[in-house]
């Protein structure tokens, strides 16, 4: 554990400086995650459901990563990006779910200051990374359908690594700026977070200073990293639709649409819940509903993404079948 913290502090010096320089007026001794504590009966049900979703998410995304690495037929740009998406999902649920399960299983709803910093840093980082990565995956599908003969020339491994690297860099460079500002806002002793994990909006509610300008900056930043990637996705699929309509045979159209159906489903789920949670007007009466939808937003997509890609993808199912048969042969 000590070694893990040392590595974390080495790679995130901004956060390290914030932790070292924090005072009692801003940090206190930690936080209380209110979550759904007002409904004990619901907490017991949520504990079971979250545990099941967490284990299935680990298994599903772990399988996608393992199969994509072990099967040479899946060493393509599409599965390269899918592996990164699965790793993002694993990182997100592992960042949130264990702490949530700990808080749900008993009366202790606390989280340490460092734990809150790590949650905020990782959730913001992987959230932005996923937005950008989904746009990169849409471009990959555009090249696969609209330029199939030049696919591997236009999407070489170097470009794939560069696109994935840009996604991760944009995500965590933004998070490294955003997290220290949020966590060092004066809170005047307020430490009860009306949420089930450390997230920006409920964290800002604890501030005892005017955060209007900061909220505007966050809104602009969110628009850039949410709307711009979504615009690129829509442009890519607009071009894809234009090319698919030019295909005369229904079989050819179905084959073309089949290559991007999974990604379209994932994008729809991701942005659908994202728009509801973060971009619709909220009232005090809807706080519990918002928290519940936010819970679904953090649990459903990471769980369902590998299911969508597995059920709709013949190559992945075949690769899994081969691996299972190979393991059975090794045992016999």
How confident is the model at residue 292, as a pLDDT?
Answer: 77
- As a dihedral over the C-alpha atoms of residue 9, residue 12, residue 17, residue 22, rounded to 10 degrees, the angle is -80
- Tell me how many degrees the CA angle 242-247-249 measures, rounded to the nearest 5: 145
Q: What is the mean pLDDT of residues 156-172?
A: 95
- Strand partners of residue 193: 33
- Given a cut of 70, whether residue 251 has pLDDT beyond it is no
The number of residues making up the chain comes to 332
The string of pLDDT tens digits covering residues 266-318 is 888 888 777 766 666 555 546 667 777 778 878 888 888 888 877 666 777 77
The per-residue pLDDT of the chain, averaged, comes to 81
Share of the chain above pLDDT 70, in %: 81
Q: What is the C-alpha radius of gyration for the chain, rounded to an integer number of angstroms? A: 22
Of the ranges 138-152, 161-175, 183-197, 281-295, the best mean pLDDT one: 161-175
Q: What is the mean pLDDT of residues 147-161?
A: 92
What DSSP element (H or E) covers 314?
helix 314-331
How confident is the model at residue 7, as a pLDDT?
Answer: 41
With H, G, I as helix, E, B as strand and everything else as coil, classify residue 209. Answer: coil
How confident is the model at residue 29, as a pLDDT?
Answer: 65
How confident is the model at residue 191, as a pLDDT?
Answer: 87
Q: How confident is the model at residue 124 (pLDDT cuts 50, 70, 90)?
A: very high
Give the number of other Cβ atoms within 10 Å of residue 140's Cβ: 26
Here the tokens at position 17 are: 């400086």
- Given a cut of 80, whether residue 228 has pLDDT beyond it is yes
- Given a cut of 90, whether residue 14 has pLDDT beyond it is no
Q: What is the mean pLDDT of residues 179-196?
A: 87
How confident is the model at residue 281, as a pLDDT?
Answer: 58
How confident is the model at residue 22, as a pLDDT?
Answer: 47
- Strand partners of residue 31: 111
pTM of the model: 0.83
Domain map (residue ranges) of the chain: 34-183+193-320
The string of pLDDT tens digits covering residues 192-213 is 888 888 988 888 888 888 888 8
DSSP summary character for residue 286: G
With H, G, I as helix, E, B as strand and everything else as coil, classify residue 230. Answer: helix
CA-closest candidate to residue 95, choices 57, 149, 144: 57
Q: What is the mean pLDDT of residues 9-30?
A: 48
- Given a cut of 70, whether residue 38 has pLDDT beyond it is yes
Question: Which residues make Cβ contacts (< 8 Å) with residue 132, sequence separation at least 6?
Answer: 166, 167, 170, 171, 225, 229
CA-closest candidate to residue 231, choices 134, 156, 321, 329: 134
How confident is the model at residue 8, as a pLDDT?
Answer: 44
CATH number of 34-183+193-320: 1.20.1070.10
CA-closest candidate to residue 302, choices 133, 87, 76, 40: 87
Give the number of other Cβ atoms within 10 Å of residue 269's Cβ: 17
Edge-to-edge order in the sheet of strand 31-33: 110-111, 31-33, 192-193
- Given a cut of 80, whether residue 158 has pLDDT beyond it is yes
Long-range contacts at 249-253 (CB < 8 A, ≥ 24 apart): none
């Amino acid at each position: 554990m000590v070694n893990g913290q040392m590595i974390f502090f080495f790679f995130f010096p901004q956060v390290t400086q914030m932790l070292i320089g924090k005072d009692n007026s801003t940090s206190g001794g930690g936080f209380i995650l209110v979550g759904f504590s007002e409904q004990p009966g619901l907490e017991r049900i949520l504990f079971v459901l979250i545990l099941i979703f967490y284990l299935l998410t680990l298994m599903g995304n772990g399988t996608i990563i393992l199969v994509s690495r072990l099967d040479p037929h899946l060493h393509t740009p599409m599965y390269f990006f899918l592996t990164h998406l699965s790793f993002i999902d694993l990182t997100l649920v592992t960042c949130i779910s264990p702490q949530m399960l700990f808080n749900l299983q008993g009366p202790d709803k606390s989280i340490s200051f460092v734990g809150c910093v790590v949650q905020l840093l990782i959730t913001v980082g992987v959230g932005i990374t996923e937005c950008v990565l989904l746009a990169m995956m849409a471009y990959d599908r555009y090249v696969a359908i609209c330029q199939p003969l030049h696919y591997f020339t236009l999407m070489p491994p170097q470009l794939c690594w560069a696109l994935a690297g840009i996604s991760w860099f944009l995500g965590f460079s933004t998070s490294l700026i955003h997290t220290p500002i949020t966590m060092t806002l004066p809170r005047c002793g307020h430490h009860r977070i009306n949420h089930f994990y450390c997230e920006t909006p409920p964290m800002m509610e604890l501030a005892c200073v005017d955060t209007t300008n900061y909220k505007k900056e966050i809104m602009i930043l969110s628009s850039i990293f949410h709307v711009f990637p979504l615009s690129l996705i829509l442009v890519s699929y607009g071009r894809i639709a234009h090319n698919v309509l030019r295909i005369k045979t229904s079989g050819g159209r179905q084959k073309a649409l089949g290559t991007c159906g999974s990604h379209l489903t994932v994008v729809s789920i991701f942005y659908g819940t994202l728009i509801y949670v973060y971009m619709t007007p909220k009232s005090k009466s809807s706080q519990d509903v918002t928290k519940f939808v936010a819970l679904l937003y953090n649990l459903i997509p990471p769980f369902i993404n590998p299911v969508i890609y597995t059920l709709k993808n013949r190559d992945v199912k075949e690769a899994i079948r081969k691996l299972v048969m190979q393991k059975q042969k090794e045992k016999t």
